Structure 1
């Protein structure tokens, strides 16, 4: 075949060399390496995100909240694309309150009794995201207030909406 440095190169050697070059290119352009380089340069920062999951039909809301708190991290799916894992900081049940003003001037507040089986839950999460001029990018997709997301834990998968983003 052809000669390289005065030595003949067989077809098998050429194939092995091209596989080695392809493997090296895969390592250089791998997403994990890009993420490590982004962390080293400081472009990736911890961002706190609040996600509201509304109208969850829960048979046992206390067991759901405890299961969600036991999960240290959740899978986040943004616009039907897996975006990675996020850390759970806190999970709170958000209750609607009704306020009534009495004729004597007294204000009475109570939970909304219209739908006791549907629950609203707020997830406070922390994610490592890239912060750019157009907002934060997490898992290759922009994450803004109003973005639909899915949260997947050990025993549940819920749809929610990003309701808050706290930049460092």
Structure 2
């Protein structure tokens, strides 16, 4: 009896190609489960994590009772942020301030004074300055929070139980 017949079968029963394919599959399974290699991302090797503070500005937020919103931020002490449509999670609210809206009003003597805006429709529009704190990975390109670079001008979405609005980063401080 020949080991390999004219049709390429071993001992007349098993095809050489089928046997080769089966061996490749077995080696792949052994390689995946018994020798998985290194875990984790190569991009995170040697990256340090430091506390950062981020100042955000919110302009023209339509809210009926801005003081209630400020109180909610102060009571919770945390808010969820979304950077470039990627959820990051909760960060600390270090401070929040309601900015007064003023208008430049020319005076009879030619000078200009900043006076509170008297328009009724502007009473429901608020400007806020919010300082958030958290831990970010510090890379050579700057701080990374939630797998997104956090730099001045980056749009950030804040989300809580009763609010969801956008803000813009105006300052980043690495501690």
Runs of 4+ in 1 over 6 A off after TM superposition: none
Which SS does the other structure have where 1:70 is aligned? helix
Aligned counterpart, 2:139 = 132
Aligned counterpart, 2:7 = none
Structure 1 pair 21–66 and aligned structure 2 pair: CA distance change class (3 A): farther
TM-score, normalised by the number of residues in structure 2: 0.68
TM-score, normalised by the number of residues in structure 1: 0.70
Asked if the contact 1:144/1:165 (under 8 Å) is kept, the reply is yes
Aligned counterpart, 1:88 = 93
Across the two proteins, how many residue pairs are aligned to each other? Answer: 142
Aligned counterpart, 1:76 = 81
**Higher Cα Rg, which structure:** 2
CA RMSD of aligned residues (A): 2.9
Asked if the contact 2:47/2:139 (under 8 Å) is kept, the reply is no
Q: Which sections of structure 2, spanning at least 5 residues, go unmatched? A: 1-28
Greater displacement, 101-110 / 140-149: 101-110
Residue 120 of structure 1 pairs with residue 127 of structure 2: yes
Structure 1 pair 107–53 and aligned structure 2 pair: CA distance change class (3 A): closer
Q: Which sections of structure 1, spanning at least 5 residues, go unmatched? A: 1-13
TM-superposition CA deviations, 1:88-128 (whole Å, max 9, x none): 10111112323445345776432223422111111111020
Question: Which of 48, 51, 60 is 1:55 aligned to?
Answer: 60
